Homo-oligomer: A and B are copies of this chain.
């Protein structure tokens, strides 16, 4: 494993960094391929928006972009994780505005199960734990991820690829590590992420492609009944790409999808990206 903290090789961080104390920061998980970092511009734009909304200042985006490209250049297929924290601070929640942000860059091997059968549709389950809603954090990939941790801890069966998460009202929001799309009558719907959830870069890419594919794309509230009425469903994730859903399980109820044409076309387009 290769890791750099503020550009210096190493894996040690000050315990008074606000990521440790409060989860006060953001992260990006990127797919490295032979030709570079996939959707790098989208990753950096989301990070930039997150820094703006959390009032984390001092990030040198052009310098960061160069650093990421330099690290990725050593690889043909890998996962590149970037953490940006508010930096080291004094005790107490209030940032004093003089913190200098910390960046942690790490390279990881691509997990085999995530891509071994990249053309296969996956099994998904419904998670019990609900997502809290907070418009101030909605859409951001913050380091406050306990809900995702508890959701992912709900199952161990390796045949289940993902868990779908709902908000307190029961509306579907996203997977523990991916976004959801459902298709019906040429309308591609994905949950509106104005109250919770992470706005994935692969979600953004799919939305950008769908117009060219003659789909109407809507961000809206999606319930279980909408999933039942859909002809196709797929999940998206920056590392894995577009993943067709074979079935969704809610307790003893199974919902099966046999149609995967839209996902397959998106996967084909992603290969050319």
Cβ-neighbour of A150 out of B17, B136, B168 (below 8 A): B136
Within 8 A of B (CB), among A1-42: 3, 5, 11-24, 27
Q: Are A13 and B20 in contact (CB under 8 A)?
A: yes
Q: Which residues from chain A sit less than 8 Å from chain B, CB to CB?
A: 3, 5, 11-24, 27, 54-55, 79, 81, 83, 85, 91-95, 104, 106, 108, 111, 129-137, 142-153, 168, 176-177, 196
Q: Are B148 and A93 in contact (CB under 8 A)?
A: yes
B contact residues around A93 at 8 Å (CB):
145, 148-149, 151-153, 176-177
B contact residues around A176 at 8 Å (CB):
93
Q: Are A24 and B133 in contact (CB under 8 A)?
A: no
How far apart are A225's CB and chain B's nearest CB, in angstroms?
24
* 12 extra A-B contacts, CB within 8 A, seeds A13-B14, A93-B145, A93-B176: A11-B14, A11-B15, A18-B149, A21-B83, A22-B145, A81-B91, A91-B111, A92-B177, A129-B134, A131-B134, A132-B133, A132-B134
Cβ-neighbour of A23 out of B17, B22, B54, B151 (below 8 A): B22
How far apart are A85's CB and chain B's nearest CB, in angstroms?
8
Q: How far is the CA of A104 from the CA of B19 in the complex (A)?
A: 14
- In the complex, residue of chain B having the shortest beta-carbon distance to the beta carbon of A239: B91
Q: How far is the CA of A79 from the CA of B221 in the complex (A)?
A: 46
How far apart are A164's CB and chain B's nearest CB, in angstroms?
14
Q: Are A83 and B20 in contact (CB under 8 A)?
A: yes
Q: How far is the CA of A144 from the CA of B18 in the complex (A)?
A: 11
How far apart are A8's CB and chain B's nearest CB, in angstroms?
12
The 9 closest A-B pairs by CB, nearest first: A23-B23, A132-B132, A144-B144, A93-B152, A22-B145, A132-B134, A94-B152, A12-B12, A93-B148
Most buried by B among A5, A22, A108, A177: A22
